[in-house]
Amino acid sequence: MILVADSGSTNTNWCLLDATTNAVYFKTEGYNPYFVNVPYILQSLKAGLPTNINPEKVSVVYFYGSGCFEEKTTNIKIALRQIFTHADIYVGLDLLGSARAVLGNHRGFAAILGTGTNSCLFDGDKITANIDSLGYLMGDEGSGYYIGKKLLGDYIRGYMPLAVRTEFYSAYGIGREEIMERVYAEKLPNRYCAGFTRFITESTSDTSYTNKIVKDSFIDFFECLVTKYENYKDYSFNCTGSIAFVFKDMLSETAAKYGMETGLILKTPIEGLAKYHQPVIVNK
C-alpha cells in the first residue's frame, strides 16, 4: 500500500491506495516544517491516523507539503519514518503536488491559494520556474492569510463599513487588543488570519465591500506573481486550495482580466495525486 499526502499550513489531506484501486481518505492538521517539530508531528499524526490503517503495511509514502523545500524536509522525514517503519519516504514541496494534480504529465502553469500562496511553471515532470511567495510576513498575496489580514486591518482601523463592523463584532466579539495579541504573540498567526475568510463567505450586510477585499487580493496575486512569469498568457490558469475553490468565480474573472483562460481549480489536490500515483501500485 502507498500513502499520499498533501499538507498545507492548516490541514493535511491523506489518501491510502492499494492494488485493488481502493482509496481511503482522511485528514489531519497541517505540518509545515517552518512551524512544527518532530514531537509535534508525531503526537498529532498518531492521534489523527485512522485506527483501521496499519502503519507497518504502508510500503511508500509520498508527502507533498507547504514549506517542504529540500533543506527543510528533515523533520518531516524523521517523523514519518518513526510511524511508517517499513516505508520508503519521499517528501516534496506542496507546489509539485499541486502541479501533478492539475496538470498530470503535461506542461503548464499551476498555483496554490490556500492559507498561503505559491505558483510555478511545470514541464510535465518538474518545476521549471518559481517566483518566491515570500511567506506570510512578506508576501503570500491572494492567500487566506492575506485576505484575512486585510479584513482585520480594516476592522481595527475603522475602515470597515458600519454594517459590516457590527456584523463582525456580533460574530466574533473581539477588539484590537485581542487581535494584536493573537497575531503578534501567539503561534501560527497565518492560520488565525486565514480563518476570517469564513466571515467573508457568510457576511450579507455589504457584499460589495467583502467581495472587493477578495478581488483586490487576487489582483495583488496576479500583479506580484502571475504576471512576472515569462509568457504567462500562453498558459491556462490552474490552481488548488480552499481559497481558490471557494472564490473561484472571482478568481476566474481576475484571470480573464489578465488574459488567462481558467483550467482546473480544485479545493485540494489529493484526488488528482491519488490518480497520479495509483499506477505505481497497479503496475507492480
Q: What is the pLDDT of residues 89-133, one digit of tens each?
A: 999 998 999 999 999 999 999 999 998 999 999 999 999 999 999
Per-residue pLDDT, averaged over 229-234, amounts to 96
Query: How much is the average pLDDT of 144-171?
Result: 97
Q: Does domain 144-215 have CATH number 1.10.720.160?
A: yes
Side-chain half-sphere CA neighbours of 214 within 13 A: 28
Joined grid coordinates for residue 225: 506573481
> Would the CATH topology of 2-98+270-282 be identical to that of 144-215?
no
pLDDT tens per residue across span 44-98? 999 988 888 899 999 999 999 988 888 888 999 999 999 999 999 999 998 999 9
pLDDT of res. 66 = 82
Assign domain 102-137+219-266 to its CATH architecture. Answer: 2-Layer Sandwich (3.30)
CA distances from 65 to 36, 54, 101, 252 (A): 12, 22, 14, 25
* pLDDT value for 9: 74
What would you report as the CA-atom Rg of the chain, rounded to the nearest whole angstrom?
19
Phi/psi of residue 91, each to 5°?
-120, 125
Domain layout of the chain by residue ranges:
2-98+270-282, 102-137+219-266, 144-215
- As a whole number, mean pLDDT of residues 241-252 equals 96
Domain 2-98+270-282 architecture: 2-Layer Sandwich (3.30)
Sign of the four-CA dihedral 180, 184, 186, 191? positive
DSSP state of 228: G
